Amino acid sequence: MNHRPISFLHVAALCASALIVSGVARSQDPQTSAVQYETETDILYRSDAELTDYMRERCRLDVYAPKSTQGFSTVVWFHGGGLTSGNKSIPKELKNQGIAVVAVNYRLSPKVKSPAFVQDAAAAVAWTFNNIERFGGSKDRIFISGHSAGGYLTSMLGLDKRWLAEYQIDADQIAGLIPYSGHTITHFTVRAERGIDGKQPIVDDMAPLFHVRNDCPPLLLITGDREMEMLGRYEENAYLWRMMKVVGHGDTELYELDGYNHGQMAGPAHPLLLRFVIKHSP
Q: What is the pLDDT along the chain (282 residues), one digit of tens a residue?
A: 456 666 544 544 454 444 433 333 333 343 445 899 999 999 999 998 889 999 999 999 999 999 999 999 999 999 999 999 999 999 999 999 999 999 999 999 999 999 999 999 999 999 999 999 999 999 999 999 999 999 999 999 999 999 999 999 999 999 999 999 999 999 999 999 999 999 999 999 999 999 999 999 999 999 999 999 999 999 999 999 999 999 999 999 999 999 999 999 999 999 999 999 999 998
Helices and strands (DSSP H and E) totals, the chain = 9, 9
Cα separation, 62 vs 65, whole angstroms: 10
Dihedral of alpha carbons 175, 62, 188, 3, sign: positive
Q: Print the domain residue range for 158.
A: 3-279
SS3 8: helix
The terminus-to-terminus CA distance of the chain in angstroms comes to: 24
Peptide bond into 110 cis (omega under 30): yes
Q: Estimate to the nearest angstrom the gap between the alpha carbon of 21 and the chain centroid.
A: 21
Q: Residue 48 has what pLDDT?
A: 84
| Helix H or strand E encompassing 255 | strand 252-257
Question: What is the count of structural domains for the chain?
Answer: 1
| Helix H or strand E encompassing 109 | none
CATH number, residue 202: 3.40.50.1820
Cα separation, 152 vs 165, whole angstroms: 18
